[in-house]
């Protein structure tokens, strides 16, 4: 994740919940108290959304790279067959 997005997001979270926030965005696990805090605090909701959007974009980019690498692998095999290598 781009650290600047995370740094911007965590500033929106009350300092007493920042450790919980880090755990939540890394693992998806959270204490009920933290979940209750998110439910009632708009800034915390925005922070979670910012990080999740960034994470989903990174997963999307990874999927594209994997697909491109797979295509390159197939093309390399075809070229090797054609060239007899």
13-64 pLDDT, tens digit each: 999 999 999 999 999 999 999 999 999 999 999 999 999 999 888 888 887 8
Is the distance from CB of 50 to CB of 10 less than 8 angstroms? Answer: no
Distance between CA atoms of 47 and 9, rounded to whole angstroms?
A: 4
Domain positions in the chain are 3-83
Spell 19-40 as b/e; 16+ CB within 10 A means b: ebbeebbeeeebeeebeebbee
Distance between CA atoms of 81 and 85, rounded to whole angstroms?
A: 6
pLDDT at 1: 54
């Amino acid at each position: 994740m781009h650290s600047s997005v995370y740094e911007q997001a965590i500033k929106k979270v009350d300092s007493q919940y920042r450790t919980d926030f880090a755990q939540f965005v890394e693992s998806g696990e959270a204490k009920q108290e933290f979940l209750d805090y998110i439910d009632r605090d708009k800034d915390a909701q925005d922070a979670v959304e910012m990080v999740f959007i960034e994470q989903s974009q990174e997963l999307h980019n990874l999927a594209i790279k994997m697909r491109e690498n797979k295509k390159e692998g197939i093309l390399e095999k075809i070229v090797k067959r054609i060239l007899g290598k």
